[in-house]
Amino acid sequence: MKAKILQFPVRRALVSPLAQINILESRLGELEAEIALCTRDRHFIDKVLSENEAEMLGVIKELAKLRRIDA
């Protein structure tokens, strides 16, 4: 008895140029949305980092004052 072996599909189904355009335009929209989200997140992160750096400088200055007083 010979086993039935399924052939691996090596050819893709042909996609019409219009379908390719629709697929690519859809992907472009997804990428634009992702870039917008990442840009918004980056601006938020930059703001938080800037605020944290400013607060750290204030804490370091306060610590320097206190240590000089206690020394």
pLDDT given at position 14: 83
Domain assignment present for 1: no
pLDDT given at position 4: 81
Q: Using H for helix, E for strand and C for coil, what is the string for 6-58?
A: CCCCCCCCCCCHHHHHHHHHHHHHHHHHHHHHHHHHHHHHHHHHHHHHHHHHH
Domain count, the chain: 1
Domain assignment present for 2: no
**pLDDT per position in the chain (71 positions), as tens?**
677 887 777 777 788 999 999 999 999 999 999 999 999 999 999 999 999 999 999 999 999 999 987 54
Domain assignment present for 25: yes
pTM: 0.61
pLDDT given at position 71: 46
Q: Which domain holds residue 48?
A: 16-71
Domain assignment present for 27: yes
